[in-house]
Amino acid sequence: MGIFSKTCEYAMRAVFFIAHKTAGGGRVGIKEVALGIDSPEHFLAKILQDLSRRGVIQSAKGPNGGFYVDEVILNMPLASIVEAVDGSDIFTGCGLGLEYCSEENPCPIHHEFKAIRNQIQDLLKTTKIGGFNKELNMGIAVLKKQKNLPQ
Amino acid sequence: MGIFSKTCEYAMRAVFFIAHKTAGGGRVGIKEVALGIDSPEHFLAKILQDLSRRGVIQSAKGPNGGFYVDEVILNMPLASIVEAVDGSDIFTGCGLGLEYCSEENPCPIHHEFKAIRNQIQDLLKTTKIGGFNKELNMGIAVLKKQKNLPQ
DNA sequence: CTAATAAAAGATGAAAAGCTCTTTTATTTA
DNA sequence: TAAATAAAAGAGCTTTTCATCTTTTATTAG
């Protein structure tokens, strides 16, 4: 796996997709999201239910229902998604997995690793969920596994 | 989990420990390594067997046997351990898990994420396996989960 | 108020990661 | 050459992650 869990990767791509589709109003259904980010529908449904419970996206049942975001969510940082799915270990954890690694009690790569952690934190906290809508509209950013998949 | 798999965290700590103990000659047994880095012995044995097969550490059977490293290994980069255990995804993978993410076909966080990946790569390629022996000897760096565990 | 819609919830299953225990093989030294 | 030592290999178990399918609940439009 990469830096984030697969579940978290799906979550980020889905939230970007939902933000992109519903920033101007409306809702988008799970089928369309799954198709739009090229992910397994039922698995993604579970992830989105969880994100909805945690307030990272919004949802409505019934006809015309679906997932959507409001202005508040558009301005939330990417970190909200990552924390909801993977927890905050990525912001605070030791590179060698030592629970008690700290400034006073550092692991060998503590200081170098802290710099990396901080950079990740910076990316996740300063980037807003709604920050990619322009690129996505213009088609110069992509959310699917492969380029030029149908739909 | 963190940036690296748990297996990889054990591997790095174990190799640091072995490097520290055997840089001046001699071998160190699996029991001592497991105790020294506070890890499950039998599981660590599997990891070290694999690292040995891949040339990241050396081993000898029988009395006075154990794991050890030579000068060549002491000068190998941390990246050798990470690649042997987790593969090279961490150096090249997309932040959102997209297989075809690239400069021409970027995911939304492609450029920011590339900077992070490069910093990780820089840490892992410029840091040498034997680079922590002084700190470890002086006791100002630590490899155990908790401070002040016996042995 | 009923039928259709769409998310929520529940139950279950497959695969990978993490971990343990036992047996075998190689080496050494006495 | 026999006994002791220590890694290597094999088999199997547990937990977590990833994934699917089915049923239920809420909402809305007609």
Q: Which of B89, B86, B26 is nearest to B56 (CA)?
A: B86
CATH 3.20.20.150 applies to domain B6-85+128-138 = no
pLDDT (0 to 100) of residue A145: 84
- For strand C, which nucleotides have at least one atom less than 7 Å from a protein CB? 4-11, 17-22, 25-29
> What is the dotted CATH code of the domain comprising A6-138?
1.10.10.10
pLDDT (0 to 100) of residue B151: 41
Cβ–Cβ below 8 Å for A123 and B101 = no
Contacts of B124 in chain A (CB under 8 A): none
Residue A67 three-state SS: strand
pLDDT (0 to 100) of residue B124: 96
pLDDT (0 to 100) of residue A151: 42
pLDDT (0 to 100) of residue A76: 98
CA of A8 to C1' of D21 (A): 23
pLDDT (0 to 100) of residue B96: 95
Category of B55 on φ-ψ map: left (φ > 0), alpha (ψ -120 to 50) or beta: left
The helix (run of H) or strand (run of E) holding residue B48 is: helix B41-53
List per-residue pLDDT tens for chain A, 151 residues long.
789 999 999 999 999 999 999 999 999 999 999 999 999 999 999 999 999 999 999 999 999 999 999 999 999 999 999 999 999 999 999 999 998 899 998 999 999 999 999 999 999 999 999 999 999 999 898 899 876 544 4
Q: Which of residues 104-123 of A touch B (CB under 8 A)?
A: 105-110, 112-113, 115-116, 119-120, 123
List per-residue pLDDT tens for chain B, 151 residues long.
889 999 999 999 999 999 999 999 999 999 999 999 999 999 999 999 999 999 999 999 999 999 999 999 999 999 999 999 999 999 999 999 998 899 998 999 999 999 999 999 999 999 999 999 999 999 898 899 875 544 4
